């Protein structure tokens, strides 16, 4: 009985820590090299042109991809199982989150969104 409880506990803990998260890709957009961006396995740091209205550019990309705007929260867009958000993290640093839920693989729309962001904003 104790062994069953231990195995079950480990399985539950593994699912809580690692499972059912979907696929997340985080883009840190920064205007200059001196700005420090957080790092994780699922993130990319992109140097962007200065004086760009990042919120406007991301919103225009969302519109081109027919993403819907979340009426309850600002700067969140979605379509089916794909979600995107943009937040200003600091002076010259923005975070763009691309999330496929509940899929664990990266969707075509997530890849296309990143490509369009890079084309529009990358320095």
Pairing of strands 68-69, 43-47: unpaired
Total domains in the chain come to 1
- Domain for residue 24, yes or no? yes
Which structure tokens are listed for 112?
Answer: 């296309």
- Domain for residue 7, yes or no? no
- Domain for residue 53, yes or no? yes
Residue ranges making up the domain that contains 72: 20-121
| Share of residues in the chain with pLDDT > 70 (%) | 83
Domain CATH number, residue 91:
3.30.310
Whether pLDDT at 116 is above 90 = yes
What is the distance between the alpha carbons of residues 33 and 18, in angstroms, rounded to a whole number?
A: 33
- Domain for residue 14, yes or no? no
- Domain for residue 40, yes or no? yes
- Domain for residue 10, yes or no? no
- Domain for residue 36, yes or no? yes
pLDDT in tens, 50-87: 889 999 999 999 999 999 999 999 999 999 999 999 99
- Domain for residue 46, yes or no? yes
């Amino acid at each position: 009985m104790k062994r069953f409880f231990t195995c079950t506990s480990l399985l539950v803990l593994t699912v809580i820590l690692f499972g059912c998260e979907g696929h997340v890709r985080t883009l840190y957009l920064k205007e200059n090299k001196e700005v420090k961006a957080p790092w994780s396995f699922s993130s990319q740091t992109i140097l962007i042109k200065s004086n760009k209205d990042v919120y406007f550019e991301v919103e225009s990309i969302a519109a081109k991809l027919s993403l819907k705007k979340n009426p309850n929260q600002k700067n969140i867009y979605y379509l089916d199982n794909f979600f995107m958000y943009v937040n200003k993290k600091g002076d010259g640093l923005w975070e763009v989150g691309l999330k496929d839920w509940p899929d664990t693989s990266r969707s075509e729309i997530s890849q296309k969104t990143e490509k369009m962001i890079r084309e529009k904003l990358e320095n």
